[in-house]
Amino acid sequence: MSTTHCPYCALQCAMHLEPAPDGTLAARPAPFPTNRGGLCRKGWTAPELLTHPDRLTTPLIRRHGRLEPATWDQALDTAAHHLNHLRQTHGPHANAVFGSGSLTNEKAYLLGKFARLALGTSQIDYNGRFCMSSAAAATNHAFGLDRGLPFPLTDIATAQAVLLAGANPAETMPPMMGHLAAPTLIVIDPRRSATAQQALDHGGLHLAPRPGTDLPLALGLLHAARTAGHLDHTYIDQRTTGFQTTWAQAAAHWPERTEELTGVPAHHIRAAADLLGHAARNRSAYVLTGRGSEQHATGTATAGAWIDLALALGLPGRTGSGYGCITGQGNGQGGREHGQKADQLPGYRHINDPDARTRIAHLWNTTPESLPGPGRSATELLAALGTPDGPRSLLVMGSNPAVSAPDTTRIKQRLAALDHLIVCDFVLSETAQQAHVVLPTAQWAEEEGTMTNLEGRLLRRTRAQHPPPGVRTDLQILSELAPRLGADPHQFPHDADTVLAELAHASAGGRADYSGIDPHHLAAGHAQYWPAPATAGPDTDPVPSTPRLFLDTFAHPDGRARFSTPTHHGPAETTDTHYPLWATTGRLLGHYQSGAQTRRITELATTDPEATVQIHPDTATHHGLTHGDHAQVTSRRGTMTARVHTTPTARHDTVFVPFHYANDQAANTLTQHALDPTSRMPEFKVSAVRITPAPDPATEGRP
């Protein structure tokens, strides 16, 4: 038996893997503080993909339009030939790289190094841009540091009240609900999500704003909290700056006006402000945000407004209270620290910082001048593929943008316009189906490495079995590809602990300092939260770790947290007579992300076999639809089909579609590439749509 962590979300539930009688592995929950002996159904069923018939076990090369089996040398040589040729002909930025928050810390680090050192390209970004970037930008502004939860998750279990804005952990991190059983919940969600229902069932509140109006709602709550006398003026004076700028905005958001802007009744706003405010006075309240608040063209400002509310109530940087953003992907936290971001070097350093460039160049045995500068953000990178000024090749590791990026019709065209697409995956994802070279990689239970969970805690991924013959690890792929591009092989080791030691060293003194992270500490079960600086000296903690941040001071030079200037602009597009409804997108319990993995798991595919559209029964009737019908949902970008699922608790003006399905059921045919100006996060959560009965496939085409 071996003990490791789930391959999917950032809760990173611990699990035991045991050989099953049929030669496969069986998962069962292992005791761990975040999951407390629980797993969701995705975790329970995760091992099925290890031996799935769709598993790729040989490299593929496109020949005469078809992907055909090849040897590793043929596949790697083909990929390297094209990358070298494009670099010689068009310069280093003709090659691009797309990474992921699913990758271990070691892979994320080596992928960033591969792009900058082996390819010499600035064109690297990753799917975390779709996920955490707005909250990251807002927390960096507010606190000077971005760690999703700056406290252990277990802290929230004793709180009196928790406000969850745009997060549905009952479906997206079910075992987390164990920590939310005692606090009274205030859920902000246009839908009566499973989490919102749980709040109502236990004496809490559900506020259902129109999609894209969280920012004025947060200001309205701040206004109501001030009127009721809940603000902590001593804390505001001593630990923050900029309150007056925020208040200049919030002053115009009295509850009745906020009701007009958001659709949330004024008395609900007052009740929520009171519930949260009373708990805050007892220093026993948390504000947590998820993708519902953040995935907007105003995501950074919106996350900033929620942080402002938390600051005005005196929550961050105190034991028993705080603000946190719930990180999503397995390594969504670590994935944004080690240099696979367009503007970043390891240690969460900025790529334009001269000191950072010198330090990293020295470590990589190159010169600061030869390190590229910042590249394009994920959506802009994908939109530029195959254009005259854009990259002509793309290497994808750990993402399926043909399903998960906004406006997928356009993204698929861009992928098709590439001279060369290389995809590393364990299944033939929709993106891999478009590739020229597919490289089959090892899965979580077959590899070593570390992940950083939603609390900033380092976890060890342990190998339970060897990968099937013919499959290599992502680290092996990078270490075999780099020398073929003329790089020094010593700079690209494939042993995870060797890479961890290098990344820890590279991060020393950076914002995300891993220098004291030690695989042996982790293997021995020590909890290590970053920053974990290794500072030599007799008084040094042998196991450096920072479970709680900001207790004494925030990470800005003056030690104070900063309020923001939240201004409401609303969503990037509007409804009209042709597109009269709002569509928002998100997740179902049983599927993960683009669905490339979970749509292949029998139990999950049986429970949630096809895309559904959640809609109020009256709205459905108005559009000629009833429960169970097939509908077409159409935005200004495209159309998806989905099974109508009427929900009496839905808003009349809003439908919800999950984004886990592909092709004609892909929700991202609807979404647009309007981007947040700071984080470059796309607006996944608001599109204007119409809904119509789908042509019946049985009668279609008949006279």
Ligand X SMILES: Nc1nc2c(c(=O)[nH]1)N[C@H]1C(S)=C(S)[C@@H](COP(=O)(O)OP(=O)(O)OC[C@H]3O[C@@H](n4cnc5c(=O)[nH]c(N)nc54)[C@H](O)[C@@H]3O)O[C@H]1N2
Q: Which residues bind ligand SF4 (CB under 6 A)?
A: 6, 8-9, 11-13, 35, 39-40, 42-43, 173-175
For position 167 contacting ligand X by CB under 6 A, the verdict is yes
Contact criterion met (CB below 8 Å) for 434 and 487: no
x/- mask, ligand X, residues 431-460, rule CB under 6 A, reads ----------x-------------------
406 versus 544: smaller Cβ distance to ligand X = 406
- 397's enclosing H/E stretch is strand 393-397
Residue in the block written with tokens 């927390």: 139
Angle at 517 (CA atoms; ends 511, 520), nearest 5 degrees: 175
Q: Is the peptide bond before 255 cis (omega within 30 degrees of 0)?
A: no
CA–CA gap between residue 24 and residue 692 (Å, rounded): 45
Pick from 45, 379, 668, 678 the residue near ligand X by CB under 6 A: 668
Size, binding site for ligand X by CB under 6 A = 63
> Minimum Å distance from CB 70 to ligand X?
18
Pick from 124, 311, 596, 662 the residue near ligand X by CB under 6 A: 596
Q: Could you tell me the sign of the dihedral formed by the alpha carbons of 131, 133, 135, 140, in that order?
A: positive
Q: Give me the half-sphere count of Cα atoms (radius 13 Å) on the Cβ side of residue 596.
A: 20
Pick from 92, 175, 211, 220 the residue near ligand X by CB under 6 A: 211
What are residue 630's DSSP bridge partners?
A: 643
For position 168 contacting ligand X by CB under 6 A, the verdict is yes
Q: How many Cβ atoms sit within 10 Å of the Cβ of residue 69? A: 13
Pick from 214, 308, 455, 480 the residue near ligand X by CB under 6 A: 214
Query: Within 118-147, which residues bind ligand X (CB under 6 A)?
Result: 127, 130-131
8 versus 661: smaller Cβ distance to ligand SF4 = 8
Stretch that binds ligand X, among 12-20, 451-459, 495-503, 594-602 (CB under 6 A): 594-602
Residue number with the smallest Cβ distance to ligand SF4: 43
Contact criterion met (CB below 8 Å) for 465 and 25: yes
Pick from 111, 249, 586, 694 the residue near ligand X by CB under 6 A: 586
For position 115 contacting ligand X by CB under 6 A, the verdict is no
9 versus 315: smaller Cβ distance to ligand SF4 = 9
Query: Within 472-501, which residues bind ligand X (CB under 6 A)?
Result: 474
- Cα distances from 105 to residues 190, 346, 361, 702, in angstroms, run 35, 10, 20, 55
CA–CA gap between residue 310 and residue 286 (Å, rounded): 8
Strands (E), 481-611: 561-562, 581-586
> Minimum Å distance from CB 559 to ligand X?
31
Pick from 112, 120, 152, 328 the residue near Mo ion by CB under 5 A: 328
> Minimum Å distance from CB 597 to ligand X?
5
Strands (E), 516-609: 561-562, 581-586
CA–CA gap between residue 195 and residue 185 (Å, rounded): 9
Residues 6+ positions from 49 with CB-CB distance below 8 Å: 55, 426, 427, 443, 597, 600, 601
Residues 6+ positions from 250 with CB-CB distance below 8 Å: 219, 220, 222, 223, 226, 308
For position 131 contacting Mo ion by CB under 5 A, the verdict is yes
For position 166 contacting ligand X by CB under 6 A, the verdict is yes
For position 682 contacting Mo ion by CB under 5 A, the verdict is no
Quote the tokens at residue 447: 């590899």
412 versus 599: smaller Cβ distance to ligand SF4 = 599
For position 99 contacting Mo ion by CB under 5 A, the verdict is no
For position 148 contacting ligand X by CB under 6 A, the verdict is no
> Minimum Å distance from CB 197 to ligand SF4?
18
Give the dihedral of Cα atoms 268, 271, 272, 276; nearest 10 deg.
Answer: 180
11 versus 395: smaller Cβ distance to ligand SF4 = 11
Applying CB under 6 A, which residues contact ligand X?
9, 100-103, 127, 130-131, 165-169, 171-173, 188-191, 193, 211-212, 214, 290-293, 295, 328-329, 397-401, 403-404, 424-427, 429, 441, 474, 584-587, 589, 591-594, 596-597, 656, 659, 667-668, 671, 684-685
Applying CB under 5 A, which residues contact Mo ion?
131, 328-329
